[in-house]
Amino acid sequence: MSAAITNSLTPITQFPLFDPLNDEEKRRLEEMAEYKIKPKFSYIYLPDEPSGHIFFLAKGTIKIGTHSDDGKEIIKALVQPLALFGELGIIGETKRQDFAQALREEVHLYVLKVEDLKRLMRTNFQLCDRVMTLFGNRLIRAETKLESLIFKDARTRIVDFIKDAMNLSGRKVGFEMLLKHSLTHQDIANITCTSRQTVTLVLNDLRKSDQIYFNRGKILVRDMAKFA
For the ranges 34-38, 111-115, 171-175, the lowest mean pLDDT is seen at: 171-175
pLDDT higher than 70, residue 54:
yes
pLDDT higher than 90, residue 7:
no
Mean pLDDT score, 122-127: 95
Please report, for the chain, the start and end positions of each structural domain, with discontinuous segments joined by +.
3-151, 154-221
Question: What is the fold, at CATH topology level, of the domain defined by 154-221?
Answer: Arc Repressor Mutant, subunit A (1.10.10)
pLDDT higher than 90, residue 12:
yes
pLDDT higher than 70, residue 102:
yes
pLDDT higher than 80, residue 97:
yes
Mean pLDDT score, 31-52: 97
Mean pLDDT score, 112-131: 96
Q: What is the mean pLDDT of the chain?
A: 93
Mean pLDDT score, 153-157: 96
pLDDT higher than 50, residue 23:
yes
pLDDT higher than 70, residue 4:
no
Between CA 86 and CA 98 the distance in angstroms is: 9
Is pLDDT larger for residue 58 or for residue 6?
58
Mean pLDDT score, 180-184: 91
- For 81-93, b/e burial (b = at least 16 CB within 10 A) is bebbbbbbbbeeb
pLDDT of res. 6: 47
For residue 154, give the nearest of 205, 83, 109 by alpha carbon.
205
58 burial type by CB count under 10 A (0-12 exposed, 13-18 middle, 19+ buried): buried
pLDDT of res. 100: 98
Sheet holding 53-59, edge to edge: 34-38, 107-113, 53-59, 84-85
pLDDT of res. 125: 95
Question: What is the fold, at CATH topology level, of the domain defined by 3-151?
Answer: Jelly Rolls (2.60.120)
pLDDT higher than 50, residue 134:
yes
pLDDT of res. 8: 59
Mean pLDDT score, 153-168: 94
pLDDT of res. 1: 40
